[in-house]
Amino acid sequence: MRRLHNYMEAPGEWEQGIYALESYEQYAGIRALRSSELKRMRKSPAHYKAAIEFEAPVTAMQQRTFDKGKAFDILILHGREAFDKAVVVEPPINKNKNEYKEWRERQGGKLILSKIERDNVIDMAERARSKRRFSEIFEAPGFPHRVIVWKDARTGIWCKAEIDWITADGRVVDLKSTADASFWFFMRNASRLGYANQGAFYLDGLTQITGVEHTEFYLAAVEVNPPFESHVFKVSFDQVLRAQSDNMDYMEALAQCFKRDEWPGYPDEIMDLDSGQYIYDEYEETEGVDDVGF
């Protein structure tokens, strides 16, 4: 069972600020609340607690998906040279053989992809960069992979976020790999997966750290299969405001749970399904990298 941390306690040596870290492992080691954890409060505090304490280990297939997503992020955000240093193509060796295991150990933490996977990532990036709106964002001056750490001024909860791209003028952009970047599919998926809440969390953190209001959040969605189409979506200001309000409700409830060490589940009452109080699609959980990974 994984330990449930009280995020009202300071995260060790980490202070409020913006960081450019060298690895995801450094980010993972910061004991602070992530947006992906906060979204568990959409169901109940009991679900939040259970999701953390009984988190399933990452499977080999999930890790493969994560690695491909990381490779794509590196190529878009840091360029081809960084990509070539971070990614290695696996040799045609049986993965169950000791020879493969020994080869893997010699890679020193590099992202291991098949040649087809590596070529697909490159094709995705080239196709996405050919779109004017996409290239306008990622080829203009900006700050890639920034980690922000802050103590929420209203609840006292320590929070963290890893932001894919912050433009020079303060817009926040999240890079998403998806099975379908079409407007209607992605709009529904964005609602189901709480992307507006994620963006509101990032914007709120930057605002509290810098003292400058950040209000613009974009999603750059790129399809993982040919023809590797993409769309850039802007989350409306009204959506951001609603998501910030929802996040605040979740944060306040979470703070009370930390203080009392009480984790209630659903209300113990009969609910009328015709009342509109319960809409399954809005709260359906989907695991994985972004909405599908690769």
pLDDT of residue 283: 42
Q: What is residue 278's predicted lDDT score, i.e. its pLDDT?
A: 47
Q: What is the arithmetic mean of pLDDT over 174-179?
A: 94
Q: Which pair of structure tokens corresponds to residue 268?
A: 């113990």
- The pLDDT score that the predictor gives to residue 108 is 86
Tokens 């009370």, located at residue: 256
Average pLDDT estimate for 262-277: 83
Rounded CA separation 165/170 (Å):
10
Mean pLDDT value across the chain: 91
| pLDDT category of residue 291 using cuts at 50, 70 and 90 | low
Nearest to 231 by CA among 243, 245, 220: 220
What's the average model confidence in pLDDT over 253-273? 94
Predicted local distance difference test score (pLDDT) of residue 275: 54
Rounded Cα distance between 232 and 128, Å, is 10
CB 61, CB 293: distance < 8 Å: no
CATH 3.10.20.30 fits 17-24+31-268+279-283, yes or no: no
Q: What is each CA distance from 197 to 75, 179, 220, 250, in whole angstroms?
A: 26, 21, 16, 11
Domain locations along the chain:
17-24+31-268+279-283
- Which has the minimum average pLDDT: 72-76, 157-161, 263-267, 273-277? 273-277
Phi-psi region of 281 (alpha: psi -120 to 50; beta: other; left: phi over 0): alpha
The DSSP line for 100-125 is HHHHHHTTTTPEEE-HHHHHHHHHHH
Rounded Cα distance, 231 and 180, in Å? 10
pLDDT at 292 over 60: no
H/E stretch holding 55 reads none
Of the pLDDT bands very low, low, confident and very high (cuts 50, 70, 90), residue 55 is: confident
Query: Which range has the worst mean pLDDT, 46-50, 62-66, 223-227, 281-285?
Result: 281-285
pTM of the predicted protein model: 0.89
Amino acid 96: pLDDT: 81
